[in-house]
Amino acid sequence: MARRAKSICRSAGCNALIDAPGYCAKHLRATRQEQDRDRGSAQERGYTSAWTKARGHYLRKHPLCEYCRRAGLVVPATVVDHIIPHRLKKAIDSGDEMQIAKARALFWDSENNWMSLCGHCHDSVKQAEEKATR
């Protein structure tokens, strides 16, 4: 089997050779830390004790993963996902009251914007869908 040629780290000025396109270990760590800082804590993104309570009620009403159920599988749900990302922290950071109100409404819209997923579907299938639409 043919081997892939080495790639150069995507970080400006870094000439480290890596096996696959992207960042070397040093810059990958720094990039992830920067993304985490921008993302904010769970509390900053709206996931408070009120969310924990609402999430529990929703999972009791909708106990199965919706993606797995569509595929004919019966898998317990462990995550309540926002179908349309709410971007509450970004709205709060902007200071725009209209944007904050819209984000909060989207965050708490359990009838139209929440779905139950298993951990696998949330972390792989749903995340891949979101990356494709960015």
Residue 78: count other Cβ atoms within 10 Å of its Cβ.
15
97 domain-assigned:
yes
CA–CA separation, 8 vs 18, rounded Å? 6
Do residues 102 and 71 both lie within one domain? yes
pTM: 0.67
> Using one digit for the tens of pLDDT, what is the confidence trace for 42-87?
677 778 899 999 999 999 999 999 999 999 999 999 999 999 988 8
Range of the domain at 20: 7-39
19 domain-assigned:
yes
pLDDT at 21 over 70: yes
98 phi, psi to nearest 5 deg: -65, -45
First to last CA, the chain: 34
